[in-house]
């Protein structure tokens, strides 16, 4: 018997793969992309809905597809096309409802179902009509965004190895222990650049030579938890530098990862503690540290009213 399809695990793993390749797609404040990121459509032009939009969007981002169209193997053949040999399909889900007779009461009951099936992007198919072709990848655009010399000096002082290239991805490479950033000129704002850099720098603090956060494995939940730490930590760093974090976007980002972690709200407290340690290390390395006294060294606090 085939293993039961786990929709939540499948989507979460797609999101994590996208993030392992760089900053999450919804956190990309710079120009340039490997694919067109078009809204996914069926072969008949009808837009996909719900979770299938997310699943196909992430698949396209991971593989670099630029066409908006997705279809089954049979649909491709009916349109005169042929899936290229060796191409891998993507998973979409048909969600619906059906009636089933209750054996005990004899009454009909409505039940839901989710059935997975396979589709291919038009970029994977030869011989399709021209209207199914994708648009070219978006090239990075020079928006003229300028660097802040003081912030550059601060981040350089941390000792992190920060590499820049035209590759439109921002990420921390654990094995090579370096951060990659697109050019600041391709960002919509300097704020977006330094917030992204602070996020990746928070990941950098987790290396075994620093705070050693990655020694507990890299499974799905561990990765999601690390993303919470990086997002909170980047806000702490940003605020500590006297800048204003984008809390609205951060709140939505954190909420999405809490859902991936089964809505365990307590993890926020653990993540915040780890984020504070990362922030302290970054500020110390950057020459901006403010050492906070331990609880037992602080002045006696005024007790809360009963």
Beta-carbon contacts of 221 under 8 Å, excluding residues fewer than 6 positions away, are 260, 261
233 and 174 within one domain: yes
Does one domain contain both 58 and 90?
Answer: yes
Query: What's residue 55's pLDDT?
Result: 77
Q: Is the pLDDT of residue 152 over 70?
A: yes
**Across all residues in the chain, what is the average pLDDT?**
78
Domain that holds residue 38: 33-132
Tell me the percentage of the chain whose pLDDT exceeds 90.
33
Domain assignment of residue 294, yes or no: no
- Whether the pLDDT of residue 36 is over 60: the answer is no
Q: Do residues 126 and 212 both lie within one domain? A: no
Furthest C-alpha separation in the chain: 79
Report the predicted TM-score, pTM, of the whole model to 2 decimal places: 0.59
- Summarised one tens digit per residue, pLDDT across range 51-96 is 777 778 778 877 778 888 999 999 999 999 999 999 999 988 877 7
Task: Give the residue-averaged pLDDT of 242-261.
Answer: 64
Shared-domain flag, residues 155 and 123: no
Residues 163 and 53 in one domain: no
CA 50-56-60 angle, to 5 degrees, is 150
The pLDDT score that the predictor gives to residue 302 is 37
Give the model confidence (pLDDT) of 267-305 as tens digits: 777 888 898 899 999 999 998 865 444 443 334 333 333
Is residue 179 scored above 60 in pLDDT? yes
Residues 210, 237, single domain; the answer is: yes
């Amino acid at each position: 018997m085939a293993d039961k399809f786990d929709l939540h695990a499948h989507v979460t793993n797609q999101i994590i793969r996208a993030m392992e390749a760089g900053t999450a797609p919804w956190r990309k404040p710079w120009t340039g992309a490997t694919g067109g990121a078009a809204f996914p459509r069926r072969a008949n032009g009808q837009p996909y809905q719900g979770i299938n939009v997310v699943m196909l969007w992430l698949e396209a981002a991971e593989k670099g597809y630029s066409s908006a169209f997705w279809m089954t193997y049979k649909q491709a053949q009916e349109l005169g096309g042929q899936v290229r040999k060796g191409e891998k399909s993507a998973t979409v889900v048909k969600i619906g409802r059906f009636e089933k007779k209750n054996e005990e009461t004899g009454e009909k009951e409505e039940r839901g179902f989710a059935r997975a099936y396979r589709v291919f992007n038009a970029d994977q198919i030869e011989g399709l009509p021209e209207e199914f072709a994708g648009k070219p990848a978006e090239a990075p655009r020079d928006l003229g965004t300028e660097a802040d010399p003081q912030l550059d000096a601060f981040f350089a002082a941390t000792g992190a190895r920060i590499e820049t290239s035209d590759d439109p991805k921002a990420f921390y490479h654990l094995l090579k222990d370096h951060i990659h950033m697109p050019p600041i000129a391709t960002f919509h704002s300097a704020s977006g650049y330094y917030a992204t850099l602070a996020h990746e720098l928070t990941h950098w603090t987790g290396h075994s030579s620093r705070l050693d956060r990655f020694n507990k494995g890299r499974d799905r939940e561990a990765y999601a938890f690390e993303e919470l730490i990086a997002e909170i930590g980047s806000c702490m760093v940003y605020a500590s530098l006297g800048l204003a974090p984008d809390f609205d976007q951060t709140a939505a980002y954190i909420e999405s990862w809490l859902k991936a972690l089964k809505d365990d709200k307590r993890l926020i407290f653990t993540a915040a503690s780890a984020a504070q340690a990362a922030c302290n290390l970054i500020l110390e390395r950057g020459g901006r540290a403010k050492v906070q006294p331990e609880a037992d060294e602080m002045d006696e606090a005024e007790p809360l009213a009963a």
